[in-house]
């Protein structure tokens, strides 16, 4: 039964990786990162349940808090970049180089 959860987690993580590598929109890239974090959370909950302790679930609670902060900060950065550049396509960004 746990292999099915890990398989689903792996599939979700692969979808997230493909989204980050192939898409050019910052919003889609942020959504793909959230999918990858959800896949990791699923694997942690499945492993914690399989072992029989709550450490996986507790770690997932902290991970969800970090994901919420990451989404808020990432979206704020996207809004500022869109306001300055007029696009959210990552091909046109050169403002972060030194």
Residue 53 DSSP label: S
When computed from its CA atoms, the radius of gyration of the chain, rounded to whole angstroms, is 16
List pLDDT tens digits, range 32-64: 999 999 999 999 999 999 998 888 899 999 999
Domain 2-89 has CATH 1.10.1670.10: no
Q: Record the tokens describing residue 68, joined without a space.
A: 């919420």
pTM of the model: 0.85
Number of other residues whose CB lies within 10 A of the CB of residue 76: 10
Residues 53, 33: Cα–Cα separation, whole Å? 27
Domain parsing of the chain, residue ranges: 2-89
pLDDT above 60 (res 98): no
- Pick left, alpha or beta for residue 93 (phi over 0 → left; psi -120 to 50 → alpha; otherwise beta): beta
Q: What residue has token string 């072992």?
A: 51
């Amino acid at each position: 039964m746990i292999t099915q959860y890990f398989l689903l987690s792996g599939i979700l993580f692969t979808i997230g990786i493909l989204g980050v590598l192939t898409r050019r929109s910052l919003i889609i890239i942020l959504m793909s990162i959230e999918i990858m974090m959800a896949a990791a959370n699923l694997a942690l909950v499945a492993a914690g349940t399989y072992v029989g302790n709550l450490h996986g679930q507790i770690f997932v609670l902290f991970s969800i808090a970090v994901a919420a902060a990451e989404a808020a900060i990432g979206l704020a950065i996207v809004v500022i970049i869109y306001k300055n550049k007029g696009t959210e396509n990552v091909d046109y960004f050169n403002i972060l180089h030194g």
